Chains A and B, each alone.
Chain A
C-alpha cells in the first residue's frame, strides 16, 4: 500500500529532529543540573519515554486512520479539542521561534561570528519555504536519507574519541547524586517527547498499521536513548562536567580535540552542519504542524496563504522572545523544557486515560 508517510519515516524524522538538541542543549543542561553523574540521566529518561511511546502506539492502534485532532475530538469533544489545539499551536509557534533563534546563534558561535542573525534567518526561511512547496514527503525522505550518514559520522566520532575519555571526569558515581541525575533527566525527556510527532501525522499512515510497523517507534526511542547517552558520555569524559556546564555548545568544543588517527581533524565543522540540517528539518516539520493546527482550529480547506504572514510573525518574534545566548538559555531551561513536558507527556497521558475509560465505546466504532 502506497502511504503518504510511513511509521519508519516518522521514526527517522524524530531522531533527526532531536539530534540538534542532543548535541547542543542536553549535555550542558545535564552537567548543570546533574553534576558529575549527569551523564547517567539519559538512562533514567527511559522511565518516561518508554511509557510515552506505548501511549502513542496505543492511540494509533485505538484510532486507526485518525490524526491527533480527530483523536481528541473522539475523546474530548470538539470544543475542548479546539482549545487544546490552540494551546498546541502557541507551543509549536514558540518551538519554531526558539529553533530559529538557536540556529542563528549556533552559526554565530561556531562559523560566522560577524554575520548578522537576520541573514541566517532569511536563508533558513527560503530553504524551509522551498521544502514546504515541494511537499511533506520531501522533508520525510530527506531525513530518511540523511540520518544514516549522520549516525555513521557520530559512530566514527565515538570510535576516535574513546581513547581521549578521562575516567576521572566520569567516576566515581555516588548514590548522593541519584536524585540530581533523576531530576536532570527531564531535559532528555523533553527532547524524547518529540515522538508525539507521530500522532500529528497518524492519518497519513493509512488504516492498517501492523505491529511490525509500530515496532519502528520502539527502535526510534531506543536509538534516541543510546545516542543521548553516548553524546553526553563523550562530552563529560573529554571536556569534564565543569567545562560542559559553562559552555553554550560543549559538544562542539569537545569535538575540537578529536582527530581520526591524527590524520583528519576539524570535525567540529561537520557537527555544526549536522545541527543546521537537524534545525532545518525541525523548523520545516514544526511549520507543517503549525499550519495543520490552523487547519484544525479554523476548519480550513486551503492553507498555503498562511505561509507568508506566519513567516513574518516567526521572523520578528525571534527578536521579542530571546535574542542573546543567555536569554535563550533561560528560555530553554525554564520555559521550553517545562512546556515540552506538558504538551508531550501530560496531554497525551490524559488522552490515553480517556481512551481507557471510553474503551468499550471505541471498540464498537472500529
Chain B
C-alpha cells in the first residue's frame, strides 16, 4: 500500500502544483501531512505488531 500511497501523493503534487507553489502555507501543509502519513506507513512496515494506542491506554486506565 505504501507504494500506491507514495505514487498518489506524487501524482497529487504534480496535478496541484500551481496551487501548492502559489502559497507557501499550502506547500508546507502538504509536505508536513505527506511526510506524517508516509512515516506512519514506513513505521507500520518496519514493525506491524506495535501495540495500538487502545492497548497502551488500556494498561493505564484500568
Q: Chain A residues in contact with chain B, CB under 8 A?
A: 118, 122, 294, 298-302, 304-313, 315-317, 319-323, 327-328, 330-331, 334-335
Contacts and interface: CB of A to CB of B under 8 A. Distances in A.
Interface residues of B, number: 33
Contact of B19 (A305, A307, A330): A305
Which of A307, A312, A335: most chain B CB closer than 10 A? A312
A327 B37 contact: no
Nearest 7 pairs of A and B residues by beta carbon: A312-B37, A309-B33, A316-B40, A327-B54, A308-B12, A322-B54, A305-B16
Contacts of B53: 320-322, 331
A298 B16 contact: no
A321 B54 contact: yes
20 contacts: A302-B19, A305-B12, A305-B16, A305-B19, A308-B5, A309-B30, A309-B34, A311-B5, A311-B37, A313-B33, A313-B40, A316-B43, A316-B44, A320-B50, A321-B53, A323-B52, A327-B55, A330-B54, A334-B61, A335-B54
Contacts of A307: 12
A330 B35 CA distance: 30
A294 B50 CA distance: 29
Contact of A334 (B16, B25, B38, B57): B57
Given A294-B29, A305-B26, A320 B61 contact: no
Contacts of B5: 308, 311-312, 315
B37 A306 contact: no
Contacts of A334: 57, 61
A330 to B, nearest CB: 5
Interface of B: 1, 5, 8-9, 11-13, 16, 19-20, 23, 25-26, 29-30, 33-34, 36-38, 40-41, 43-44, 48, 50, 52-55, 57-58, 61
Nearest to B12: A308
Contacts of B11: 308
A335 B19 CA distance: 38
Given A305-B20, A305-B26, A312 B52 contact: no
Nearest to B34: A309
Contacts of B13: 305
B9 A308 contact: yes
Given A309-B9, A320-B53, A323-B52, 19 more contacts: A298-B25, A298-B29, A300-B25, A301-B23, A308-B5, A308-B11, A309-B12, A311-B8, A312-B38, A317-B40, A319-B44, A319-B48, A320-B40, A320-B50, A320-B52, A328-B54, A331-B57, A334-B61, A335-B54
B26 A300 contact: yes
